[in-house]
Amino acid sequence: MYRPALWLLLVLSGVVNLVTSLADLHILINIASGLVSLGSAAALIRHHYRHRRPTAGLGS
């Protein structure tokens, strides 16, 4: 349920990070948006591995 929100957060923070880098804005805004991007990507990866379906097992 919260995956779409994480994807939206990842995209928005990535755009903010890009804009702050190109516009040469304050470095703390750039760092904060980068940390938000990293955190949302990590949460998406964690959710993927916790909720993936078991496979049929290739070697068993």
Q: Report pLDDT for 58.
A: 62
What pTM did the predictor assign? 0.79
In tens, the pLDDT along 5-52 reads 999 999 999 999 999 999 988 999 999 999 999 999 999 999 999 988
Q: Where are the strands (E) in the chain, listed by range?
A: none
C-alpha to C-alpha distances, 43 to 5, 14, 36, 46, nearest whole angstrom = 11, 15, 10, 5
Q: What is the dihedral of CA 20, 39, 2, 50, to 10 degrees?
A: 150
CA 1 to centroid of chain Cα atoms: 16
